[in-house]
Amino acid sequence: MQFRAVKGMNDILPNEVGRWHRLEGEFRSLVALYGYQEVRTPLLEHTDLFARSIGETTDVVEKEMFTFERSRESLTLRPEGTAGAARAYVAHKQHGREPVSRWYYLGPMFRAEQPQRGRYRQFHQAGCEVFGDRGPLVDAEMIDMLCTYLRRLGISGIEVSVNSIGGAGAREAYRERLLDFLRPRAGSLSPHARDRLEVNPLRVLDSKDERDQAAARDAPSILEVLEDEDRAHWEGLCASLDVLGIAYTVDPRLVRGLDYYTGTLFELNATSGDLGAQNTLVGGGRYDSMIETLGGPSVSAIGFAMGLERILLAMPDDTPASVPRCYVAPIGAPAQHASLLLARELRAAGVTVDLDGRGNSLRSMLRRADAIGARLCLVLGDSELEAGIVQVKDLGQHTQDRVDRGQVVDRVARLVATGSRQIATQPSGDEP
């Protein structure tokens, strides 16, 4: 009986993981420059947390959550990272420790969606949250940081869309305007959007259904009903983006899927690579009322989440060069034990070592050393042990040298560090 991975959940094999390390490493080092610190929250949370913060009438909560009962508690695999981070922020009274907190996270998320290219059931997000800064400077800085990140990974054709959905007042006013506009068009909406029209008309704007998109084409813009404070923030954001020289599109239809947003909303798309239809890499925005909704004080917040599988699809295929490796090939039992010690010493000196423990012929060990692209192969048999030396074969130069056992670690470490494939040709023992 063979097992398959669960639908929509992928293995990441060692030959792919180098690219993951690259994008994760770039992320961690860039956000650190902006003062973000990592937070790690559980993969499971109480279902209510997501219902409350993401919103009951969102796609995520309505149909995408992996939810199950355990000891009469309803638990859900996290579909996104903001709810857990906000819960932790409140639970640990973080607001009492510092006026502004900058947190980031990176890890798997779970949504029961129809799997397709760029859309999976277990996928990975990296995200940032800033608590306690009302913006708009921090909003613009966040977008700028994201552009820098994508550029550093070689992703081109980056498009930034921004919008503001204002505060509660503006949204209430807009709701009415939008309903006035959509009610006469309800007949042409998708059944799902029609059902939810009165509850959450804004979601029609975010629908991927062509019927909804067509009906919403000439809908009024929410920017028209912003209140003074919302407008000041919005203009502040646009001015800051201009100062930073970021080209952006104002998209009045950008409302995004999750209910918790207030004010600034943004998305980053890319045209490079192999993205296909799922070309939204990053979604983010301000959620100034969430902390209070979750029982905390009134603390403003802004964040984004980026889909790492989509980043990988957009990234050029420049697999990072592998580290120089050294292959240790022992012949016979005594040499095997001696090789265990030699390999340990080499690794302590920072050399990557593959020790062949299979007891195969020298020929087959050399073939294997070549196949993995090892730079050096160290051969050790009875006669080498007796003479107190190691044969060092340079697989690039096709040269070999007998090196004193006492000097071999130094010599190999130096060869690997300088990136040289050339083995020094002086006879062993004549080292300075």
Where does this chain bind ligand ATP (CB under 6 A)? Answer: 80, 111, 113, 118-120, 123, 125, 256-257, 278, 280-283, 305, 307, 309-310
Nearer to ligand ATP, 105 or 120 (CB): 120
Helix (H) / strand (E) containing 410: helix 405-418
Cβ proximity to ligand ATP, 84 vs 307, nearer residue: 307
Pairing of strands 301-307, 122-131: antiparallel
Shorter beta-carbon distance to ligand ATP: residue 55 or 201 = 55
Smallest Cα–Cα separation from 161: which of 230, 247, 93, 37? 247
Determine the residue type at 12. Answer: I
Q: How far does the chain reach from its first CA to its final CA, in angstroms?
A: 61
Each residue of 287-323: b (16+ CB within 10 Å) or e? bbbbbeebebeebbbbbbbbbbbbbbbbbeeeeeeee
Closest contact distance (angstroms) between CB of 407 and ligand ATP is 52
Between residues 278 and 352, which has the closer beta carbon with respect to ligand ATP? 278
Q: CB of 265: closest distance to ligand ATP in angstroms?
A: 10
Nearest residue to ligand ATP, by Cβ distance, number only: 307
Give the residue with the Cβ less far from ligand ATP, 62 or 354. Answer: 62
Instruction: Name the strands in the sheet holding 73-77, side by side, starting at the edge strand that comes first in the sequence.
Output: 44-46, 73-77, 67-70
How far is 412 from 410, CA to CA, in rounded Å?
6
Q: Closest approach of Cβ 32 to ligand ATP, in Å?
A: 22
Q: Which is nearer to ligand ATP, 262 or 339 (CB)?
A: 262
CA distance 264 to 254: 10
Neighbours of 366 (CB within 10 A): 19
In the complex, least distance from residue 376 CB atom to ligand ATP, rounded to whole angstroms: 42
CA distance 285 to 302: 6
Shortest gap between Cβ of 311 and ligand ATP (angstroms)? 8
Q: Considering the complex, what minimum distance in angstroms separates the CB of residue 80 from ligand ATP? A: 5
101 or 125, CB closer to ligand ATP? Answer: 125
Matching residue, tokens 């798997």: 108
Which residues make beta-bridge pairs with 282? 268, 306
* Least Cβ distance, residue 111 to ligand ATP (angstroms): 5
